Amino acid sequence: MQQPIIELSKLTKAYGDHTAVKGLDLTVHTGEIFGLLGPNGAGKTTTILMMLGLAEPTSGTAKVCGLDAARNPLQVKRKVGYMPDDIGFYEDRTAVDNLLFTAGLNRIPEAEARKRAYKLLDSVGLSDAVSKKVGTFSRGMRQRLGLADVLIKRPEVIILDEPTLGIDPEGVRELLQLISELSRHEKLTVLLSSHHLHQVQQICHRVGLFVDGKMIACGDIDCLSAQLDDNNEVKVELQVKGWNEETAGRLDGLESVLSLSRQDEPPAEMEVSNWVVRCSKDVTGQIAAAVIGSGAELIGICRQKYGLDDIYHRFFEGGEGK
């Protein structure tokens, strides 16, 4: 099995009587985009600081690229690029100057650093702003420059803490697409911390739901969705034109169907109506055949799946899940 590039084991951080992170276990593999999703104050940033060796765990371990972050913080920093939610740049210097300064701190020879800087600025869509002072940049441009800044040392992992904060919707879309492309082309592992559901859902391979210092669920969207299906039931959504007594009778007659429920007002004759069929297993095909066989017109049919919004609220409302 492939060695995890990030491995947290029983990671705990307490500040006096307050425990910010509580026994966190997490593995992230090479090339993965992992979303750490949770409300503000959940402990996401504290976890990131321990991964970077900037905060010492009370107990447990944080290993990044095979290194214990608490014991080898400098080595970890060489391998990891970190972009905080509020990036600091020299406002009176150009984009290139800022990148060259970061490259110098990482002991990259000037000729190589300059070559990398121009290539990265082109990659993040800032080739037209190479000579502009950063003080004139919009929030979105600063975030793009931030990506170039963490990438100039060619890290194995990049950690992004609320990277879309304060950016307009179009800027968010472009930045997320950029992160996804960079991960794919550069074979980067990305840990993205956010409290924005739909943004995490767009690009992350897996998501960890983080609340009150604990990871309460972890997996891809389908895996998390399956955990919310009560008693392993399947729900099938229908749109039917011309629903009639025979339609209901045929569906009720299917062995796996548990119940039918209308999701809108009783329709007038031949109008489209919306239904949910609860089943003990997936019989979507049989349901479709039953509707058509009754003489009704099947407008639409799909197995109900939970989106990240449903998953988030169901898990968070229950604290530990359902």
Q: Output the tens digit of pLDDT for each of the chain's 322 residues.
A: 467 899 999 999 999 999 999 999 999 999 999 999 888 888 999 999 999 999 999 999 999 999 999 999 999 999 999 998 888 899 999 999 999 999 999 999 999 999 999 999 998 989 999 999 999 999 889 999 999 999 999 999 999 998 888 888 888 888 888 889 888 887 889 999 988 777 777 889 999 988 889 988 888 877 777 666 555 688 899 999 999 999 999 999 999 999 999 988 765 555 889 999 999 888 999 999 999 999 999 999 998 776 667 777 776 665 444 3
* Token pair recorded at residue 152: 């100039």
Cβ within 8 Å of residue 128, ≥6 positions away: none
Residue 311, amino acid: I
Kindly calculate the radius of gyration of the chain based on its CA atoms and give it in whole angstroms. 25
DSSP 234: E
DSSP β-ladder status, 272-279 and 234-241: antiparallel
Sheet of 6-15, strand order: 18-28, 6-15, 59-64, 67-68
* Token pair recorded at residue 108: 């990259």
Distance between CA atoms of residues 117 and 133, nearest Å = 15
Least Cα distance to 208 among 61, 12, 26, 42 occurs for 26
| Residue 61 φ/ψ region, left for φ over 0, alpha for ψ in the -120 to 50 degree band, beta for the rest | beta
DSSP 109: -
> Coil, strand, or helix at residue 167?
coil
Q: pTM here?
A: 0.76
Measured between alpha carbons, how far is residue 273 from residues 229, 285, 298 in Å? 24, 19, 10
pLDDT at 72 (0 to 100) = 96
Contact 11, 62 (CB under 8 A): yes
Contact 308, 197 (CB under 8 A): yes
pLDDT at 318 (0 to 100) = 54
Contact 144, 28 (CB under 8 A): no
CA 233 remoteness from chain centre:
26
Contact 7, 47 (CB under 8 A): no
CA 66 remoteness from chain centre:
23
